[in-house]
A = this chain, B = another copy of it.
Amino acid sequence: MISIDDFKKIEIKIGKILSADRVPETDKLLKLSVDFGEESPRQIISGISVYFPDLEEVVNKKCAFATNLEPRVIKGLESQGMILAVSGGEGENTFFSLLEVLESVPSGSSIK
């Protein structure tokens, strides 16, 4: 169990995915450019490549990201946040989903 103060330490914001590219020499990684309504988009590296055979399916999605984690360098690329997703199951029961919001939500909105 955690307190509400522990929860409030975490910043979760809605970002709009502007572009997605596969990271060369990896099977799993996507390099995302994500708009949070800030001066410039953030680069976010995420291990979700296998779930998007067609990268156009991820572009323009508005979904939830953890945005105040210390930046991490993954395969030499800085990741300035973490996309939130659920995945699991096996074989035919494999599932994956991002946490999406309505199109009317502005980029950069915070979860309360």
Binding site for B on A (CB under 8 A): 1-4, 6-7, 9-10, 12, 14, 63-64, 66, 68-70, 72, 82, 84-89, 95-102, 104-106, 109-112
State the copy count for this chain: 2
Residues in B whose Cβ lies below 8 Å from that of A2? 9-10, 68-70
Q: Given A9-B2, A66-B7, is A95 in contact with B85 using a C-beta cutoff of 8 Å?
A: no
**Residue from the list B10, B85, B101, B112 in contact with A100, Cβ < 8 A:** B101
Q: Tell me how far the C-beta of A54 lies from the nearest C-beta in chain B, rounded to whole angstroms.
A: 16
**Quick check: A69 and B109 within 8 Å, CB to CB?**
no
**Quick check: B69 and A4 within 8 Å, CB to CB?**
yes
**Quick check: B95 and A102 within 8 Å, CB to CB?**
yes
Q: How far is the CA of A109 from the CA of B96 in the complex (A)?
A: 10
Q: Given A1-B68, A10-B7, A70-B3, is A97 in contact with B86 using a C-beta cutoff of 8 Å?
A: no
Residues in B whose Cβ lies below 8 Å from that of A12? 84
Q: How far is the CA of A88 from the CA of B109 in the complex (A)?
A: 8
Q: How far is the CA of A33 from the CA of B89 in the complex (A)?
A: 25
